[in-house]
Amino acid sequence: MARMTRRSWTGTSAAIAAAASISSPRRVYGMRQGKFTIAHVLGLNQPERLKLCLQMGVTHVVSSPSVRGVSRDQYAAAIRKHKEQWAEAGFEVAVHETMTPVPANNIRRGTPGREEELKNWSAYVEAMGQAGIPVLCYNFGQGGMRTGRITLRGGAISTVHDYAETRKLPVLDEVYTEDQLWEGLAWFIERITPVCEKAKVKMGYHPNDPCVSPYRGSAQIMISPAAYRRLFAIADSPYNGVTFCQGNFASMRYAPGETMYSVATEFAERGKIQFVHFRDVDGKADSHYYETFHDNGPTDMARMLECYARGGFVGPLRTDHAPAMAGEDSGHNAGYAMLGHIFAIGYTKGLMQARNLAYD
């Protein structure tokens, strides 16, 4: 038997695509109302991860292409080329998860220059539509940090957010009031939604992460179900919606009689969920929480999948923020080491099959 070398194992994008073409046909399990497209965050420079995903039957990608430094009239060409590169590797682009694919500082501030930024956003959305990429995950917030690490079962490493520690940090360089943020967001949504409708690109606003306000001296607004209802009311369109990041929604505080399950069902039935980040946390953002294994947190994960599906959600889902496992670097790009996601994807598919929920 020939010895397998690293080179022969990784191969090239073309070899990976060829492997995909001869794989067994993917099974699509019985549908109730909804259907999930399982996708994963990947880079074209990660051949081992690409091959692992193809072997797991994951052929859709969540990508983050950059057009920084690209002239507006070249956005379409850049995004089309990016999609073609993924197709050569055996993947279909399901989502662009680029929180601000082009700058939005003046939009956020409501300052001169926001009209030019809006033109850039409009051109980006139009380019996505021309390339047939259906969902953009975005966010205008200023969070995104964790304050530490925690050891889970068997020595796996996950992340922690402690709001008391966050409050000790310096005030951000730019701080905003809630009124400023809502004014800027409303101005943007009113103008970008018609562009999305024409381009057939759904925009899903990701919650502020962590879901707290104030955050380092600045207000944050997308931290509650009520905030999302206000967002939806700005432009009542199926193209104006939410990236339902389950970890963030689990860490929110809810009104009496309201739960994450009821909110997920409501938003799905309204056609407002564009994209699901499937993960779990233990605790609340305004105190302390940590990210758990997908099978070991407080949320009934199977019930959440049923909330989405029975509500009629049809769209992409990715496992999110898995713990780093044995042999993996827990400090670099926390939550995105591969072994935890292999476990999470298998677990998620198992839940879907057990509940007879459709996916591909």
Query: What structural domains and CATH numbers belong to the chain?
Result: 12-17+29-359 (3.20.20.150)
Which is higher by pLDDT, 27 or 331? 331
- The reported pLDDT for the residue numbered 145 is 80
**pLDDT at residue 205 above 80?**
yes
- What pTM did the predictor assign? 0.91
- CA pair distance 288, 251, nearest whole angstrom: 9
Q: In degrees, to the nearest 5, what angle opens at C-alpha 289 toward C-alphas 284 and 291?
A: 125
- CA pair distance 342, 356, nearest whole angstrom: 21
The closest of 243, 249, 221, 224 to 137, measured between CA atoms, is: 243
CA end-to-end span of the chain, whole Å?
35
Q: What is the pLDDT of residues 223-273, one digit of tens each?
A: 999 999 999 999 999 999 999 999 999 999 999 999 999 999 999 999 999
- CA pair distance 190, 258, nearest whole angstrom: 29
- CA pair distance 292, 219, nearest whole angstrom: 27
- CA pair distance 296, 309, nearest whole angstrom: 22
Q: Which residues pair with 97 in a beta bridge?
A: 137
Q: What is the pLDDT of residues 93-138, one digit of tens each?
A: 999 998 899 999 999 999 999 999 999 999 999 999 999 999 999 9
Q: Of the given ranges (1-5, 130-134, 161-165, 205-209), which has the lowest mean pLDDT?
A: 1-5
Position 331 confidence tier, pLDDT thresholds 50, 70, 90: low
**pLDDT at residue 16 above 70?**
no
Quote the percentage of the chain above a pLDDT of 90. 86
For the segment 1-30, the average pLDDT, to the nearest whole number, is: 46
**pLDDT at residue 18 above 90?**
no
Position 6 confidence tier, pLDDT thresholds 50, 70, 90: very low
pLDDT, the chain, mean:
92
What the block records as the tokens of 83 is 């999609």
The closest of 236, 248, 238 to 274, measured between CA atoms, is: 238
**pLDDT at residue 290 above 60?**
yes
**pLDDT at residue 10 above 70?**
no
For the segment 316-324, the average pLDDT, to the nearest whole number, is: 97
Amino acid at 144: G
Cα Rg of the chain, angstroms: 20
- The reported pLDDT for the residue numbered 78 is 97
Position 27 confidence tier, pLDDT thresholds 50, 70, 90: low
